[in-house]
Each structure stands twice: as C-alpha cells, then as structure tokens.
Amino acid sequence: MGNHPLGLVIRNVSKRYANGVQALNNVSLDIPPGMYGLLGPNGAGKSTLMRTLATLQEPDEGQIFLGDIDVVNQKEAVRQTLGYLPQEFGVYPKASAEELLDYFAVLKGITNRALRRATTEALLKQTNLWDKRKQKLGGYSGGMRQRFGVAVALLGNPSLLIVDEPTAGLDPAERVRFLNLLSELGENSVVILSTHIVEDVSELCTNMAIINQGQILLEAQPLEAVAALKGHIWRKLTDKLTLPALEQEHRIISAKLLSGRTLVHVYSPEMPGNGFELAEPDLEDVYFSAMTGCFGVASEQPKAEGILL
C-alpha cells in the first residue's frame, strides 16, 4: 500500500433485498478524511450502506474504494483497517472492560502481550474508561457501553471508522461526552457517523450527505448548506387548524408544537406574505428542505407534504 490520503469513494452502489425493498438506489459519494455525517430517517438505507462499507454484505452493483483498496473485492484488506461500531453493539455482561478489550485485541492480531497491554490501556484512557476498567460491562451505563464500543472499534488504528446511530438512547451528558470523543478521532482517518439526529452532524461533521429511501438527496458541508438557505426560510406561529390552509399556499418544510401553538417553517425565495418573519436557518432546515424536495438534487420534484414533527 502506498502512502496516500485515504478517502472513500462510493460509485453507483445499489442494493435490493429479497423482499423487494430497494435499500440503496445508485448511491455515489466522495468521503474525505475527517468526520462525515450520513443523515437520514430510520429506514433510509443508512445501515445498509454502513454494513456494505464494513464488508458485511455485498452491493448488487457499484464500486467502493478506500484509498486504493477495492472494498467489494478485497474484503480482508478492508477489515484490517476497519473499525466498526454497529447500531446494536452487544457486550458480554460478565466480563470486565479490560478483559474483553484484551480479548478483542488478540482477535485483531495484536499477539505481543506487552504491546497489547499498552494498547488496551491507551484506548481505555482515551475513551475515559480507565477508572472503570475492572468493572463488569453489565454494570455500564449506555454511554459507557458506547465508549467501550469505540475502544474496540479503534483497535489496530483503523483508517476507516464506521459508527452507526451511536447517540440514540444516550442521555444529554453522555451524548456530549461521546461526540467529543468522536471529534478527536477524525484527524487522519475517515470517520462516518450515521445518524437520524441532526445535532450530531451539525456539531461535529465537516462534510455530510442526506439520504432518504436509498437515495442521496444532498451532499454538502453543513455550514455552506445552512448559508445557502439564508433568506429562504420563514417562520410563523399559528394554530393547528390553520395548518391545512397554509399547506395549500406555502412549501411548509416543518411544523413543530411550541407551547400549545404550531411553529411553521416555510421555504420561499421571497417574502411569503402575511405574518411570516425571516428565520435564521440551521441544519434542521437544511434537512427538512432536502427531505421535502426544496433543496439539493431533489429540487425538481413536485411539492412534497410538510413533515409534522
């Protein structure tokens, strides 16, 4: 392997399951080193794509390259440089963190005992679990279990790290700790964060894609995507009864309940009229604009229904 910047190139990848579900439909992405957010609702195809990148399943068609490794045809080479934290990361409740990490290190091929001890110590410290290394994993909180999963995924210093829905079910403090840990990793390797939580991406990722129904709706840098919506997002507090009428007149991208009333966000290049005020866009507006076909490659599609949160 030459010394090259390890980006990930995904070209025209499709996957249809036996039950007829088209999980991925001609997906192409260029993923540079750093933190990359893959954002989409549950069932959008995120996990299918993550599992394909992790060599756990084959695409029906398409090509994937990690640097000069052909991911589909050189699975062993990929696995040697892959860290993967799946959505359901099971642990062995009766083992301690130290024991289990040592065991996984052996599986990763770190056979030298001293090196293994140094590696597990460094990873447990990095994931802030060193003080709890003797504790049984069954007694770990959700956030501690996720951080232990990252320690396992980081064994062997991977150049591709895949993290699938890592913050679902974490409390706010644990979520922040977990995201801080992830943000330190994205220097030299490709770190893909698959999530349906917009804040995970806005706080961490320099590049992102929005996926829905197996198709990429938007590839962007979060800050640039937000900036591109400036002047196009308008908001209005209304009540539920007037929503249907508003939906007839405007491209509503989201409607949220706010202290008994409904806060409506509308996409419009010019002032939509009565009672609307200009809103400062954020990544959630980018997400819902893409999902409702106002923004990104989907902009030619007919008007989609607004999403009621």
Q: What is the pLDDT of residues 280-305, one digit of tens each?
A: 999 999 999 999 988 764 333 333 34
Phi-psi sector, 228: left (phi>0), alpha (psi -120 to 50), beta: alpha
Which of 186, 220, 254 lies at the terminal end of a domain, its last residue? 220
Residues 74 and 111 in one domain: yes
pLDDT at 5: 56
pLDDT at 23: 95
- What is the total count of domains within the chain? 2
Residue 1 lies in a domain: no
Phi, psi of 238 (to 5 degrees): -145, -175
Residue 3 lies in a domain: no
Residues 232 and 211 in one domain: no
Residues 175 and 198 in one domain: yes
Which residues, 6 or more positions from 166, have their beta carbon under 8 angstroms from its beta carbon?
Answer: 85, 146, 149, 150, 178, 182, 193, 195, 200
Residue 232 lies in a domain: yes
pLDDT at 101: 94
pLDDT, one tens digit per residue, over 142-161 is 888 888 988 998 898 899 99
Model confidence at 40: pLDDT above 70: yes
Q: Are 13 and 28 in contact (CB under 8 A)?
A: yes
Which of 195, 220, 245 lies at the terminal end of a domain, its last residue? 220
**pLDDT grade, residue 19 (50/70/90)?**
very high
For residues 108-125, average pLDDT: 93
Model confidence at 62: pLDDT above 80: yes
Model confidence at 90: pLDDT above 80: no
Residue 2 lies in a domain: no
Residues 90 and 155 in one domain: yes
Q: What is the pTM of this model?
A: 0.86
pLDDT, one tens digit per residue, over 244-287 is 888 888 999 999 988 889 999 999 999 998 889 999 999 999 99
Residues 120 and 205 in one domain: yes
pLDDT at 305: 43
Residue 194 lies in a domain: yes
For residue 120, give the CATH number of its domain. Answer: 3.40.50.300
pLDDT at 214: 95
Q: What is the DSSP letter of 134?
A: T
Which of 220, 243, 278 lies at the terminal end of a domain, its last residue? 220
For residues 34-38, average pLDDT: 93
Residues 51 and 155 in one domain: yes
Q: How far apart are CA 234 and CA 66, in angstroms?
A: 41
Residue 251 lies in a domain: yes
For residues 10-39, average pLDDT: 95
Q: Are 260 and 179 in contact (CB under 8 A)?
A: no
Domain that holds residue 285: 226-308
Mean confidence (pLDDT) of the chain? 88
Model confidence at 183: pLDDT above 60: yes
Residues 164 and 245 in one domain: no
Residues 50 and 193 in one domain: yes
For residues 97-119, average pLDDT: 92
Residues 300 and 202 in one domain: no
Residues 250 and 211 in one domain: no
Residues 173 and 70 in one domain: yes
pLDDT at 296: 62
More confident residue, 236 or 165: 236
pLDDT at 142: 85
Residues 75 and 113 in one domain: yes
233-238 and 277-278 strand pairing: antiparallel
